Amino acid sequence: MPADSLSLTFAALSDPTRRSILARLALGEISVGELAEPFHISAPAVTKHLKVLERAGLISRGRQAQWRPCKLEATPLQEAASFIEQYRQHWEQSFDRLDDYLQQLQAQEKRNGR
């Protein structure tokens, strides 16, 4: 995944309302009006958030039905998750290696009569 689309995902996820919208969409497709209800914000404000989410590829919107249902797209979220996971793995495994290496260094020091 290119770095800039990852930033796009992170930027889209930076807003708590957008995260709540995603959480709601995880339950299933829904219309803009229904989405707006629990957030106490206007439908145009929700539409704005949806545009950001759509640009980041986090959601898609139906073209056929007049109410244009919103649907969660899991891939970018999984990519963001795998980025964090990869980062963690890098360091957990580096630390494992550092641990072994430090033991080697200390064994060497002992052999050299320190």
**Footprint of another protein (CB under 8 A):** 1-3, 6-7, 9-11, 13-14, 19, 26, 77, 80-81, 83-84, 86-103, 105-106
What is the smallest separation between the CB atom of 112 and another protein, expressed in angstroms? 14
User: Which CB atom, from 37 or from 96, has the smaller least distance to another protein?
Assistant: 96
What is the smallest separation between the CB atom of 85 and another protein, expressed in angstroms? 8
* Whole-angstrom distance, CA of residue 103 vs CA of residue 47: 58
Quote the strand ranges of 10-95, DSSP E: 59-61, 70-72
User: Which CB atom, from 67 or from 91, has the smaller least distance to another protein?
Assistant: 91
* Whole-angstrom distance, CA of residue 80 vs CA of residue 66: 32
* Whole-angstrom distance, CA of residue 45 vs CA of residue 49: 7
Helices (H) and strands (E) in the chain, counts: 5, 2
User: Residue 87 corresponds to which tokens in the numbers above?
Assistant: 């980062």
What is the smallest separation between the CB atom of 56 and another protein, expressed in angstroms? 11
Q: How many residues does the chain have?
A: 114
User: Which CB atom, from 65 or from 74, has the smaller least distance to another protein?
Assistant: 74
User: Which CB atom, from 70 or from 80, has the smaller least distance to another protein?
Assistant: 80
